[in-house]
Amino acid sequence: MVRCALKILVVAALSLGFGALLIWLAHACRARSAGFAFLLVWLTMCWVTLVLLAFPLRFPSIYYQLRPGERDGRRYEIVGVLVAKRVLRRWPLNIFNPKLHMPRVRDAQNLANLDAAMRIAETNHAVMFLIVLLAIAHALVRGWWDAAAWTLLFNIVINVYPVMLQRYNRGRLEEVDSRAAVLNLLPGI
């Protein structure tokens, strides 16, 4: 009980600090600028990551099931997910999710751990995307078309592409997992 109360206090303090920082940045960087839009999306990502570390969130299992059109990955490749993958695997961005790499030993436990890490990353970015949509709606209500466009652009790059990448990678992981299962069933291999 004490631990939960401490988590709540820490998250509340972080949230107040996050809000104060955003207000200050809106004045310092101009709320309608591309720089502020980037910082808004980036700081939202940092804040949501910390909140979800304290209070993990998981969507219902049906959300994570790949649809038939997603399994082969072509749709994601067409919209540039492989470019996003290359960018995210380079320093400094690769430090944000060190668990999101194919394990050297591809046994059932390691593949399950990778799948769980991918689902966490996907969930976190989906939540971030939805929160930033509120800021985009606020900009639209105020008639700040430029701010809404910049924020939407950064929201797509910082949150939508990582969600698509995790879904793409899970399709590849299912292929590896099913191949490993077949090899385990074949005698003498």
In tens, the pLDDT along 80-121 reads: 888 887 777 766 766 666 667 677 777 778 888 888 888 999
* Arithmetic mean of pLDDT, 113-131: 91
Q: Mean pLDDT of all residues in the chain? A: 84
- With residues binned 3-state (H G I as helix, E B as strand, rest as coil), the percentages for the chain, rounded to 5, are 80, 0, 20
What mean pLDDT do residues 176-187 have? 53
Q: To which residue do tokens 């059932």 refer?
A: 108
Q: The whole model's pTM is what?
A: 0.82
CA distance 171 to 64: 11
Instruction: Decide if pLDDT at 11 tops 80.
Output: yes
SS3 (DSSP) at 38: helix
In 3D space, the residue among 122, 143, 23 whose CA is nearest the CA of residue 65 turns out to be: 122
Region 11-31 average pLDDT: 85
**Contact yes or no for 64/121 (Cβ under 8 A):** no
Task: Considering only residues 84 and 62, tell me which one the structure prediction assigns the higher pLDDT.
Answer: 62
Q: Which residue has the higher pLDDT, 185 or 69?
A: 69
Does residue 159 have a pLDDT over 70?
Answer: yes
Task: Give the C-alpha separation, 176 to 108, whole Å.
Answer: 10
